[in-house]
Homo-oligomer: A and B are copies of this chain.
Amino acid sequence: MQELKDRILVDGEVIGSNILKVDSFLNHQLDPAFIMRMGEELARRFTDAGITRVLTVEASGIVVASAVGLTLGVPVVFAKKKKASTQNDVYRSQIYSFTRQESVDITVTKRYLRSDDTVLIIDDFLAHGEALKGLVDIVKQSGARLAGAGIVIEKRFQRGAERLRAEGMRIEALAAIEAMEPGNIRFA
């Protein structure tokens, strides 16, 4: 999506070799109209996939997921992050955050993800793929069909999606970054 690439080049801030901050429109301040256009574009790519539910994880992914759900006319479920949880009416997985260097449990209440659902996973970033793998795990537990994942920004050099794509999972990114360093971002 050219508008997103342009925006990343103008507003994105590369820190070190791995962190891309897009706080001006996605991760701290939101540009609601732009987020709606990104949601519409992600929805367009999965129009014919028979999606019945969108799944994401709090916090930044929620607003993009909601734009996708609005466009497709389906509900959105966001997995909750918890320190630890002993509820048994939930699907539970664990994700490791390389940025925060800690593991968190993510949970989805069982009644909001059903075996007859066709699920589209949405997230803002795909880097090492930890969050995505946790969400895929939860979809598998539910018995629902996984249609694929729609990502705003894929940092392809961190190779998180490689194994999932090799297994046949469809992963669409609005912008995929092949390499970056301060002052220089190269898209795939």
**Chain A interface (Cβ within 8 Å of chain B)?**
23-24, 28-33, 35-36, 58-59, 62-63, 65-67, 69-70, 73, 75-78, 80, 108-109, 112
Contacts and interface: CB of A to CB of B under 8 A. Distances in A.
Kindly report how many copies of this chain are found in the complex they form together: 2
B30 A109 contact: no
Nearest to A74: B32
B28 A109 contact: yes
A49 to B, nearest CB: 17
The 3 closest A-B pairs by CB, nearest first: A32-B70, A59-B59, A32-B69
12 contacts: A23-B109, A28-B108, A28-B109, A29-B75, A29-B77, A32-B70, A35-B66, A36-B70, A58-B58, A58-B59, A59-B62, A63-B63
Contact of A30 (B59, B66, B108): B66
